Structures are given as C-alpha cells and as structure tokens.
Structure 1
Amino acid sequence: MNLPNQITLARIAFIPIFMFVFLYPFDWGTVSVFDSEIPVNHLVAALIYAIAALTDWVDGYIARSRNLISNFGKFLDPLADKLLVTAALLSLIELDMLPAWMAVVILTREFAVTGMRLVAAADGTVIAASPLGKWKTVFQMVAIFFLMVHNAPFEGMGFPLADLLMWIAVILTIVSGIDYFWKNKHIFKDA
C-alpha cells in the first residue's frame, strides 16, 4: 500500500480518538480563547480533528507529486472524508451544537454520491472527487472545526463565523451533489 493511502487510513484511525475526547468530557475545565470559554476536551478534540482533516491535503499532495494516484486511493480518500465529517456532525448533534437538519442534508448528499460511485465502480468506472466537491469538503471541515471550538475566537467578537461557514458548506453540499449527478447521469442510463 502506498504512502498516500496509508495517510488516508490514518485519517480514519483519528475518528474514534477525537470522538472519545469530544463526547466523553473529563474534568479538564475550560480555557479562555479570545473571550470565549471552551471546554478543554473540545479544544483538544478539535485539534485532533484538525490534524485528521489536514491529512486530506497531505495525502493528495503526496499522491499527485509522486505520481502515486491509484483507483484505491480515489475511492478511499473521499470515503475517509465522509467518515470523518459524518463522525463530527453526529458528535455535534449529540452535544446540541448543530441543527440535525443540516447534518441530514450533508449526509444525504454524501450517501447519494457514494451510492453513485458504487454503481459506477460496478461497471469499472471510478469517479474521482471534483473541484467543487473538494471545496465542499474544505468548508465542511473548517465549519466543523469552528463549531467544535465554540466559534472561538469570533464568539467574543460577536461574529458567527462557524454558522456562516456551515451555511456555505450546506449550500456547496447541495450544489456539488447536483453537479456530480448531472455530470455522471450516463451511469444511470440503464436503470
């Protein structure tokens, strides 16, 4: 297995770690970040999540720069992103930090696109992530990070950056989903 795929698998391995720290708070207290009080376990979990999210860029960079792009990587990388985002969204809902409807919109698109990829794979076609899909992932991951840290440092300024980023992520999720299905509608021609 090549290095980019190993890094992608490491991203998946981070999921239970950040979820455990985020959802099962220890008495670590709170920390003040620019006039925002954040539970220490949320800050630690957000940092673990951020490291995991950054591996998405690292594995892609290594794969492209060393010509290590593989069909397995094209399938595994977006799957790892979806698992990471799904775990984070469900964790945020569990703690009443995200409206469930936003997560449902995001997860519906993720399952639909994954289903389309599976149908395409059955015919020997691999559908790689599109640029719009990559931007959607970036906005989702950044929005989730700021939600996990309770919108710090922007909470103290009264600017709802986390909410704004999540709205952009939801809109990009819908638009990129439509884009995937439109560009790959030929996959369903025999359905």
Structure 2
Amino acid sequence: MTGVPASAAGGSSPAKQANPASLEKAPKGASVADVSAVGAPDAVEPTAAAGPGAAGPDAGPADAADGRAPRGGKLAAAAVNQASVWNIANLLTMLRLILVPGFVALMLADGGYDPAWRSLAWAAFAIAMITDLFDGHLARTYNLVTDFGKIADPIADKAIMGAALICLSGLGDLPWWVTIVILGRELGITLLRFIVIRYGVIPASRGGKLKTLTQGVAVGMYVLALTGWLATLRWWVMAAAVVLTVVTGLDYVRQAIVLRRQGIAAREAASEETEA
C-alpha cells in the first residue's frame, strides 16, 4: 500500500529504516535540537533507525521526546564559560596573597632570629615563588585569563617579595639600600607600563625572568639562618640579583622610549594620510 506511512507498519525491515532523504524535512513541532540531531546525514549510520537515540549519544528519551537540547550541548556550553574567577590559576594567586601575612608572622616570630621559625617562613616563601611560576602559565595555556588575575597576580608577586625584603632589612640581615633598589625598580617599571600602555605593551624579557628567579633564590637564602660558606654564597647571589634588577630595569626604560616613539610616529603618519 502506498498510502500507509512506513512508521505505521510493524516490524523492523530495512524499508522502515531512516535514510538521509527522509530526514531533510522535520515534522511539525520538532525543535532545533531534534532537526540538528537527525538532519545531518553524516551523523546517522546507514542501519540506525531514527528514534529517541537520534538526539545524541548523551541524550535520554526525555530529551528527544520534549524537544530539549541534548545534555552534550549543555556540557559543551559549560566548558566554554568555565573561565570564571574561581579557576586554578586565580586560586594559586589567592594562595600567594594569603601567604603574605603568614610569611610575615613566621618571619618575625620569637624576635625573628629563631632558626625553626625562619625555616617555616622560608617554606611559605618557597610555596609562593613556586605558585608564581605556574599560575600565569596555566592561565595562558587553558584560557583562564580573567580581569581579577591580571590585577591580583602582579600585586601578589610584589607583595611577597616586598614583605620578605622589608622584614630582612628590618631585622638587619639585608642593607636597606638593596631593598630600596629592588622595590623601587619593581614599582617604577609597573608605573612605566601603565604610562606607555596607550602605545603598546612591553613584553616580559628573558632577562626579566632570570632576574625574578635570581631574586627569589637570593631572598630565600637570606630568609634561612645560614652560616659559613653558605652565608657568603648568598651575598654573591644577592649581588647578582641586584645587578640584574638594575640592568633589566634600564632595558625596560629603553623599550618604553622606543615604543612611545613608534606609537607617536604611527599616529602622525595616520593623521597625514587622513588629511591627504
């Protein structure tokens, strides 16, 4: 009989199976999810009958019956929007911020000269430095960059380093001029970045990364109650950190001047083209 639809006849013969031509038109009342699930010929196996399972491998009978989007689509949408403030990169940054007052308390405990307390303070400082190596990498690699992270990350970096330097100088373990040079450079370069941001961004250089690593090692060695040749070694490491701090700071100033000149030249050229 030609007037009876194929779905009205019982059984499961090949004539009753779905084919691409029959999927081109969706029944009345079908949702977009139903059409997209069964309307693509490549998504339907030649021997698979159209039915509840056509809504997707993760969708249940209810999803196909009431026209709701399949669960797989919901999971995909959630994955796209998962870069919230509460991601692993920002949590590591928050941990560094929390470690700052803890480090200061451990550093100054019992007068600030007890080797046991200084060892605990070193552990807190080391954790902060290690998390600094990973949070930025995780944010860039897994697209977890947020406005909070852009602001909090540099604050956390300078807070833990500044707290360590000020504590060491306050206890008499490190000359104040070293603390002033390092902190002055960090704050000055940060201000310089904001000044030239209209012309472009000054990228982090290898020298800057080496400076950060050397500073962390040197300050960490000063936090520990070292004696003998290790105390002499830490002096040389700190001297190298101060040299790198000054040299890389001057290089950032040079880059800022070049960037500003290029930006001004580009604006003037664009203005001349507009007037012409």
Shorter chain as normaliser: what TM range? 0.7 to 0.9
Identify the match of residue 248 of structure 2 among 176, 180, 184. Answer: 176
CA 1:177 to 1:72, structure 2 compared with 1: closer, same or farther past 3 Å?
A: farther
Q: Structure 1 residues 175, 101: CA separation in 2 closer, same or farther (over 3 Å shift)?
A: same
The aligned residue for residue 98 of structure 1 is 174
Matched, 1:79 2:151: no
Aligned equivalent of 1:59 = 135
> In 1, Cα distance between the equivalents of 2:90 and 2:220?
24
Which has more strand, going by share of residues?
1
| 48 and 185 in structure 1: CA distance in 2 versus 1, 3 angstrom threshold | same
In structure 2, the CA distance between the partners of 1:46 and 1:107, relative to structure 1 (3 Å rule), is same
Contact 2:202–2:255 under 8 Å retained in 1: no
Which letter maps to 1:78? P
Worse overlay, 72-81 or 108-117: 72-81
Instruction: Give the one of 214, 219, 222 matched to 1:147.
Output: 222
Residues in 2 aligned to 1:147 and 1:5: alpha-carbon distance in whole angstroms:
29
Distance 2:223 2:131 in 1: 18
Which structure has the bigger radius of gyration?
2
Partner of 2:123: 47
2:207 matched to 1:132?
Answer: yes
Q: Which runs of 5+ in 2 are unaligned?
A: 1-84, 265-276
Query: One-letter code of the match for 1:67?
Result: N
RMSD: 2.6
User: Which residue does 2:189 correspond to in 1?
Assistant: 113
Partners of 2:241 and 2:248 lie apart in 1 by 10
Amino acid at match of 2:158: K
Contact 1:74/1:126 (<8 A) preserved: no
- Give SS of 1:25's match: helix
Q: Given the alignment, which residue of 62, 68, 72 partners 2:144?
A: 68
1:9 positional shift: 2.4
Q: Secondary structure at the match of 2:196?
A: helix
2:185–2:249 CA contact under 8 A, matched in 1: yes
Query: 1:63: Cα distance to partner?
Result: 2.1
Counterpart in the other structure of 2:110 = 25
In 2, distance between residues paired with 1:23 and 1:159?
A: 20
Shift of 1:150: 2.5
- Residues 72 and 177 of structure 1: CA distance in aligned 2, closer, same or farther (over 3 Å): farther
Which residue number in structure 2 is paired with residue 14 of structure 1? 99
Find the aligned partners of 2:124 and 2:213 in 1 and give their Cα distance. Answer: 16
Contact 1:56 1:81 in 2 (8 A): yes
- In structure 2, give the amino acid aligned to 1:47: A
> What is the number of equivalent residue pairs in this alignment?
177
Look up the equivalent residue of 2:238 and give its one-letter code.
M
TM-score in terms of structure 1 length: 0.80
| 1:119-159 CA distance string (max 9 Å, x none) | 234x38544533221211111111111001123xxx34466
Of residues 164, 170, 185, the one that matches 2:236 is: 164
| CA–CA separation in structure 2 for the residues paired with 1:150 and 1:26 | 13
Q: Is the 8 A contact 1:139 1:169 kept in 2?
A: yes
